Amino acid sequence: MPGLKDQLWYPPVEFDYSTSPYGPPQEQILDLLGTLEPGASIADAAGGYGRYGERLARAGYKVTIFDIDPAHMEEARRRAAALPEGSGEMHVVEADLVAGDLSRFKGRFDALLCTGLLYLAPMHVLRGAFHQMAGLLRQGGLSVVEFATDRERYDADGNPLLGADEQRYTRRQGELIMRRLHAETGIVGTKLTGAEIDLRYPYRYHANLIFASGTKVGK
């Protein structure tokens, strides 16, 4: 198990999961995935504690969370066990999306979801991670990725909390990166929408989110 330093994400605070530390799920993302057939399988790459996974499982989908952090995975498993009767499914798989090998899951999913991860990394790292994720999709599968841009994060005293090696992409860069990653992985019909996020707890966080979606046709 790699240590936290090997991850793309560094927790700046102790999380209280009941407060939804990354904000509520984005309705645009839920709407995009809501076009899937009932019971469709969704790979939630770096799905964390199940912020989206739980909602999607409650809506009847079969969600598999791939993540690396024990605390996030433990909370996701707790939520999976508490799903009400009649829900879909939520499974948790420990996986390193950067350095690991997900080839045994190749082509297995109707949809890919990735929120809160790629934009933290430099281009050569996020590129490899996205190629790995896109490989999870079957032909005709739907890809939905959140790419946060123009990010600002501060503690209560106004001190910047972005890690020294965290990336900070502009919206224009984020759009170009997502278009390029789609082209490289055979994802077509790219749609880019967006939303602004302004969280006040557990830290001050502001960003312009890009939601990139498309359909896998090749590679």
- Cα gap 61→41, rounded to integer Å: 6
> Of residues 3-42, which lie at the interface with ligand SAM (CB under 6 A)?
7-9, 22
The residue among 74 and 184 lying less far from ligand SAM, judged by its C-beta, is 74
Q: How far is the CB of 131 from ligand SAM (least distance, A)?
A: 14
Nearest to 121 by CA among 113, 112, 130: 130
Q: How far is the CB of 217 from ligand SAM (least distance, A)?
A: 25
Task: Rule CB under 6 A: choose which of 63, 72, 145, 205 binds ligand SAM.
Answer: 72
Neighbours of 33 (CB within 10 A): 24
List of residues 6+ apart from 116 with CB closer than 8 A: 9, 22, 46, 48, 146, 148
> Of residues 75-134, which lie at the interface with ligand SAM (CB under 6 A)?
95-98, 115-117
Q: Could you tell me which residues are beta bridge partners of residue 94?
A: 67
Task: Rule CB under 6 A: choose which of 40, 46, 92, 111 binds ligand SAM.
Answer: 46
In single-letter form, the type of residue at position 10 comes to Y
- Contact between 135 and ligand SAM (CB under 6 A)? no
CB 159 within 8 A of CB 13: no
Q: How far is the CB of 113 from ligand SAM (least distance, A)?
A: 8
The residue among 23 and 183 lying less far from ligand SAM, judged by its C-beta, is 23
Task: Rule CB under 6 A: choose which of 69, 75, 110, 175 binds ligand SAM.
Answer: 69
Total binding residues for ligand SAM by CB under 6 A?
Answer: 19
- Contact between 47 and ligand SAM (CB under 6 A)? yes
Q: Could you tell me which residues are beta bridge partners of residue 124?
A: none
Cis? peptide before 202, omega within 30° of 0: yes
CB 194 within 8 A of CB 210: yes
Q: How far is the CB of 218 from ligand SAM (least distance, A)?
A: 25
